[in-house]
A and B are shown apart, each in its own frame.
Chain A
Amino acid sequence: MKSDGLRLGTWLLLGPALLWLLLLIVLPHVDMLLVSLRQRTGFGQYQTSTVHYLAFFTEPLYWRTFMRTAVMSILATILTLVIAFPVAWYIAKMVRGRVRSLLFMACLVPFWVSELVRTYGWMILLRETGVVSGFLQWTGLASGSVEMLYNDVAVMVGLVYASMLFMVVPLVTTLDSLDDCLIEAAYDLGGNGWSVLREIVIPFAMPGIVSGCIVVFMLSLGNYLTPVLLGGKGSMWFTEQIFTQFIVRFNWEQGAAFGVLLLVLSSLIVWLGLKLTRQSFTEVMR
């Protein structure tokens, strides 16, 4: 199986890969772009136009929803990082052996459960007749029932929860490979907790931080269930807008334009993140 056989093998293996990527990934997205650039002029008649992109910029509701989705997703990413980092540190550095693998598994467990079930759990916890409200009344912190669902905080709690795993795992993996001697040396040389964190730990953990942030950001941006179920009517999430255009209004051209915009936004922010921290896409995704 030297040159000739290998060539044949390569071709045979390329077939399925190309089929999959072209038919299900590349062409559908190209088609979505084309559909977003056409306007319906009559039954089955279309002309090229950018009217659906113009609608996005002229209709305040659309770009406000867009900006809101982006800002909330960035906020959710930062929050997830801040919450996950100490936990990842604890798992990677403070515990050993069985406790450690147990804690690591405990981080994974919620994500074996459907996103729908998790979000439903938060609904039961936060709603007016829910558990948190009941607990507050029981402790006397609140006099009547408290509605905690259908606001931005609820959405944020859900978003952070939904993507926690994808931050904890890369952080644990990178922090794990950080040699304790480096930290000890930094302390010996007169560093304190904060400067060691800033000068040694964070630069070292950067690959993990970046890959975690990228995945969390993408997941938040593309999340549909959390904003719809926890945010209620006023949640204004961009994926919701896409769903409305496609399924409710049957305006596929507008929906496709929104899809392209969301894709551009996410690629842009991911690209910026990679550039700022000088990482490469294939490395981060590994």
Chain B
Amino acid sequence: MIPTLPRSNGVRVGFVAYVMLFFAYLAAPLVIVGLFAFNDSRFPALPWNGFTWDWFFASGPERTGVFHDRAVLRSIATSAWVAGFVTFFSVLFATLNAFLFERHQFPGKNLLYICMLLPLVIPGVILGISILVFASGIANRADALLNLELDFLRPGLVLVVLGQFAFLTTIATLIISARLRKFDRSLEEAALNLGATPVVAIFTITLPYLRPALVGAALVCFLMSFENFNTTLMLVGSDAPLTITLFSRLREGATPLLNAVSLLLMLGSSLLALVSIAFQRKT
């Protein structure tokens, strides 16, 4: 089944049809979610009652659009804050990790590398509960022994940031290491020969070289943090990020408002994707 080999037309048509069917399967739920954001009905379901912008701009009380729904807007802001912190710390730690694993030799390196990969195979729910148990344990002991109230270790945004940071750092490390591996070290040596200190050489030569990977890793982290559900669900307190708000709305009974939020989310992530593609192409 490669182009250079003869094969019957039936097989060829069948194969193409299968691939088209596959892409229809991939696209179906996304297209449907987007379409029903404009349905003039109280439910995201058939029948189609005509086109409306209500689920974006209506100000209530009958219908409330996304841009007038306080709770949704607040949770979007919460998600953005969380994602910002997670992205910053993940990329920072990942950069250091990349240098550690690509440039340094030390005893136990393989073991540490395997540990570094572990978050990829730990289900998000488990990661969430283990951090929850650990943090609460520390908070309880601090309370009992030292009479200290460590509120940030109770379910809340700090734990959400930590939980997402825990696994996104691994992903960012893999992205940044891959680029650092391709770096030609003679460039750095040239800088050293010309009188730069090691720190200056890294900041003027190596980091600019890594920039596409750093930006790519940051975008991936931001997006995955914004959209994370499993780990967040276990660690969330009273301030709900967007996915948690959407989930509880979904359980109460969905309205096309959810479709409108989803559509905005999709537009947002495609924008990020375009930015990342444009950036990769430029460099």
Contacts and interface: CB of A to CB of B under 8 A. Distances in A.
A225 B100 contact: no
Q: Which of B117, B125, B250 has the most CB of A within 10 A?
A: B125
Interface string B248-268: 001000100011001001100
Nearest to B92: A16
Interface in B126-177: 126-127, 129-135, 137, 144, 162-163, 165-166, 169, 174
B131 A259 contact: no
A4 B116 CA distance: 26
B30 A110 contact: yes
A218 B123 contact: yes
Nearest to A35: B133
A124 B19 contact: no
B250 A120 contact: yes
A229 B1 contact: no
A112 B29 contact: no
Q: Which of A18, A259, A266 counts the most B-chain CB atoms under 10 A from its CB?
A: A259
A117 B266 contact: yes
Interface stretch (A48-56, A60-68, A81-89): A81-89
B88 interface: no
Contacts of B166: 20, 24-25
B29 A218 contact: no
B96 interface: yes
Main secondary structure of the interface of A (DSSP, over half): helix
Interface string B6-41: 000000000100110011011111101100100000
B234 A87 contact: no
Contact of A125 (B23, B29, B121): B29
Most buried by A among B135, B165, B230: B230
A285 B246 contact: no
Contact of B115 (A21, A35, A94, A106): A21
Nearest to A121: B29
B260 to A, nearest CB: 11
A18 B174 CA distance: 17
B106 A222 contact: no
B146 to A, nearest CB: 15
B28 A256 contact: no
B114 interface: yes
A161 B254 CA distance: 21
Given A86-B18, A184-B2, A221 B123 contact: yes
Interface string B262-283: 1001100110110000000000
Contact of A224 (B27, B28, B106, B125): B125
B247 interface: yes
Interface string A235-264: 000010011001100001001100100110
B162 A24 contact: yes
A120 B33 CA distance: 7
B51 interface: no
B69 interface: no
A193 B15 CA distance: 14
Contact of A263 (B96, B122, B162): B122
A89 B134 contact: no
A116 B229 CA distance: 8
Interface in B183-201: 198
Contact of B112 (A17, A116, A122, A270): A17
A14 B100 contact: yes
Contacts of A107: 26
Q: Which of A21, A93, A218, A243 has the most CB of B within 10 A?
A: A21
A247 B269 CA distance: 31
A106 B24 CA distance: 11
Interface in A55-79: none
B262 A120 contact: yes
A144 interface: no
Given A112-B273, A118-B30, A32 B44 contact: no
A233 to B, nearest CB: 12
B172 to A, nearest CB: 11
Contacts of A239: 123, 125, 230
From B18, B26, B104, B120, name the one whose CB has the most chain A CB atoms within 10 angstroms.
B26
A152 interface: no
Nearest to A184: B4
The 9 closest A-B pairs by CB, nearest first: A222-B123, A121-B29, A114-B227, A28-B130, A28-B134, A129-B45, A13-B100, A24-B166, A134-B46
Interface of A: 1, 5-6, 9-10, 13-14, 16-18, 20-21, 24-29, 31-32, 35, 44, 83, 86-87, 89-90, 93-94, 103, 106-107, 109-110, 112-125, 127, 129-131, 133-134, 161, 164, 180, 183-184, 187, 193, 214-215, 218, 221-225, 229, 239, 242-243, 246-247, 252, 255-256, 259, 262-263, 266-267, 270, 281-282, 285-286
Given A117-B33, A124-B29, 4 more contacts: A25-B166, A120-B258, A225-B229, A255-B129
21 contacts: A9-B104, A13-B100, A16-B96, A20-B93, A21-B115, A24-B162, A31-B134, A32-B129, A93-B3, A112-B270, A112-B272, A116-B229, A117-B30, A121-B29, A124-B29, A183-B5, A222-B123, A222-B124, A224-B124, A239-B125, A259-B130
